[in-house]
Chain A
Amino acid sequence: QKEVEQDPGPLSVPEGAIVSLNCTYSNSAFQYFMWYRQYSRKGPELLMYTYSSGNKEDGRFTAQVDKSSKYISLFIRDSQPSDSATYLCAMGKGNEKLTFGTGTRLTIIP
């Protein structure tokens, strides 16, 4: 079993819809959680990071962490074609190396 599981998609939704992207993990020692957005042929761009269970909002993006279920989510409200990208979850413990999901490929249809 992988430490981090992420549905690879592809996921296609119409413009304006709410998008839900998810990762599950098996290592309860993970302390902080990140979401990266990666456009085609580009490097990952840090979107959000969070430490604790609960929600964190930044504009149209909400990161949610449920440590009891070992489940994290990224919600995108009012999705735009420019949100079309691969979304990678990543998680870490202290100063150790990060563990990444394989990414979910998202397409927003105008």
Chain B
Amino acid sequence: DAMVIQNPRYQVTQFGKPVTLSCSQTLNHNVMYWYQQKSSQAPKLLFHYYDKDFNNEADTPDNFQSRRPNTSFCFLDIRSPGLGDAAMYLCATSRDPQFQAKNIQYFGAGTRLSVL
């Protein structure tokens, strides 16, 4: 089955210790998104890649970076995690929303990040 796969499912890091979360997809979608979701809140978009073009949300802290080495993979790097960065991180994909004129997104299972 075509899927969006996130690894690891659970990640524990120490305050200030860099961490990388990964996402891969077999849907061959153009766009990949990273969201942060805290308990009982809506997912908050951090940034997205449209093919190789990186699009950062205005309120995403500089502490969060992303890489997309190819169509299938995308990484979220948190350079110096703080206690406030503990959350569920969701990766999503969509197929060429500019061409499709709609932005139907498919999510991975998420990575739950704990910061000690």
Residues of chain A whose beta carbon lies under 8 Å from any beta carbon of chain B: 4, 8, 31-32, 34, 36, 41-46, 49, 51, 88, 90, 92, 94-98, 100-103, 105
Contacts and interface: CB of A to CB of B under 8 A. Distances in A.
Interface residues of B, number: 25
B104 interface: yes
A3 B88 CA distance: 23
Interface in B4-49: 4, 6, 40-43, 45, 48
A94 B102 CA distance: 5
B43 A44 contact: yes
B107 interface: yes
B102 A43 contact: no
Interface in B66-108: 88, 90, 92, 97-98, 100-108
B42 A94 contact: no
B40 A97 contact: no
B112 A41 contact: yes
Nearest to B99: A95
A95 B97 CA distance: 5
Contacts of A105: 40
Given A88-B42, A103-B40, A98 B108 contact: no
B112 A102 contact: no
B109 interface: yes
A88 B42 CA distance: 8
A98 B45 CA distance: 9
B107 A43 contact: yes
15 contacts: A32-B104, A34-B104, A36-B107, A43-B108, A45-B107, A46-B104, A46-B107, A49-B104, A92-B102, A95-B103, A102-B40, A102-B41, A102-B42, A103-B42, A105-B40
B103 A97 contact: yes
B101 to A, nearest CB: 6
A44 B42 contact: no
A43 B105 CA distance: 12
A95 B92 CA distance: 15
Nearest to A39: B109
Nearest to B112: A41
